[in-house]
Amino acid sequence: MILIWMLFLYPVTVQAKEKAISPYNATKSWYDKLIATAKPDIAKLRFFFTLMPKGGDIHQHFTGSLYAENYLDWINKEGYWISIKDFTVITPKDADKLKDTVSVKNLGSNKVMYSDFFSHWSNKDYANHYHDALAPDVQFFNTFSYFSKIFNGNQKYYAEGIQLLKNRAKNENVQYLETMFVSPGYQKADPQFDSLVRKGEINIDNKVFRDTLDGFISSVSKDTLFYSKVKQYRDLVDLCTKGVDDESFTLRFQSYVSRNTTPSQFFSGLYAAFYEADNNARVVGVNIVSSENDAIALADYKLHMQMFRYLKEKYPHSKTSMHAGELTTGMVLPEELKYHISDAVSVAGANRIGHGVDIVYETNALRTLSSMKVNHIPVEINLTSNDFILGVKDEAHPVRLYTDFGVPIVISSDDPGVSRGSLTEEYVLLASRYRYSYDDIKQFVSNSINYSFMTKNDKEESFKLLQKKFDEFEHKILSIMDKR
């Protein structure tokens, strides 16, 4: 009788196993349900993406990724004060300003002033109550002016900040950070050079223009201050990366230059950034930062692209991710919306594009999209900051345009400390607004490793870890589904 019962059960058991849903299908099915309704289930999506491995965050500014609370803690440790007039950091060197200050302890006991501090140092509470406010783009970029004073003479806080970002990344299932750390800090002011490079044809195919760049680089390469600054930068990178990489986390840096300086300051700083990226395994790329709609950035945009092109030729193995197209209609003259991404791709030779929002206005948009697809040039999508700075969101955002044209995209956090957000939240916005499939989401995560500037060997190891993490994640989702 027992034998008959066992024989009876056997085919049923086989059928049950055949019908059992795989971890992948269970995960895909649950995700599909979360985005299928008219109003996606945001709470469950947030739960889903918190658990999901997110690969890398490869468009992230170091100082803008730390929260104001982190800075406040360091200000307190140093015994500095906060100005009650403009909320800047006041040190003992600022003797003339000490009377108009408050300690961190006393700041915390004054609820109104404490709230105002966060409104200056981040986007916190920007839109949830009536108050005198700066324009969103000014508000956003102004926050960075508060941060730098804390690091002056306090390199230990760079290292502490990196550790904070590492821990935060691992806690939200991010295994790789490629952060825009700091610039090498070298600038050479040369008014004569500034005048010369703005005359005639701004193109390195023009011999006069190229000779001007050659001569300037020759003078920089003989400057002892250049090598001193590069060494200081290298020492700082070594300090901040020591012991950070482990079996489940990798950190790499991008160097950068500000686009809102004189041509000589820009070019000397850019040269230092390329030089360091070519000579330091931890510094894997070069970027261009600061507000793209400022007067200098607009006036010198084509000049900057030619300077990038020149240094890309000088350092052919270098990688560049370039902020381009972080603009929208009404923000600048219509003519300024016509070429920024195109020039970053076709002239400067960008390996990745950051933001790319104004692609819909560009004269050569079709050619640029095709080039980005064919040459595997991804666009780094920053939904939260694009919404805040540009007011571009929902159907107005070009993320769907990029993917429809076959351009690879990467989801990134930009400045989660300033925005009070996270990479998890970027995926929640992506899924709830644009309803990408689970396979799409996995591809975007994979892109964050594939299009990173890590070495080939590092990428291979990262992909192995990512696959392991997705296997664990999908089994976890299956377990959750089985218990429901």
pLDDT tens-digit profile, the chain (484 residues): 333 333 333 344 434 444 578 999 999 999 999 999 999 999 999 999 999 999 999 999 999 999 999 999 998 999 999 888 888 888 888 877 778 888 889 898 888 888 888 888 886 655 554 445 566 656 655 666 677 778 887 889 999 999 999 999 999 999 999 999 999 999 999 999 999 999 889 999 999 999 999 999 999 999 999 999 999 999 999 999 999 999 999 999 999 999 999 999 999 999 999 999 999 999 999 999 999 999 999 999 999 999 999 999 999 999 999 999 999 999 999 999 999 999 999 999 999 999 999 999 999 999 999 999 999 999 999 999 999 899 999 999 999 999 999 999 999 999 999 889 999 999 999 999 999 999 999 999 999 999 999 999 999 999 999 999 999 999 999 998 877 6
pLDDT of residue 118: 82
pLDDT of residue 112: 85
Its pTM stands at 0.91
Domain 149-469: top CATH class:
alpha beta
pLDDT of residue 16: 43
| Burial group, residue 262, by CB count within 10 angstroms (0-12, 13-18, 19+) | middle
Question: Which residues lie below 8 Å from residue 103, measured CB to CB, with a gap of 6+?
Answer: 76, 81, 82
| Burial group, residue 148, by CB count within 10 angstroms (0-12, 13-18, 19+) | exposed
pLDDT of residue 126: 53
Q: Which two tokens stand for residue 322?
A: 């370039």
Q: Beta-carbon neighbour count of residue 427 at 10 Å? A: 24
Residue type, 21: I
Only one residue has tokens 């806080």, namely 157
Domain ranges for the chain:
68-121, 149-469
Q: Any bridge partners for residue 60, and if so which? A: 179, 414
What is the spatial distance between Cα 204 and Cα 451, in angstroms, rounded to a whole number?
A: 28
**Cα distances (Å, whole numbers) of residue 196 to 200, 405, 441, 447:** 8, 41, 49, 42
What is the spatial distance between Cα 134 and Cα 322, in angstroms, rounded to a whole number?
A: 26
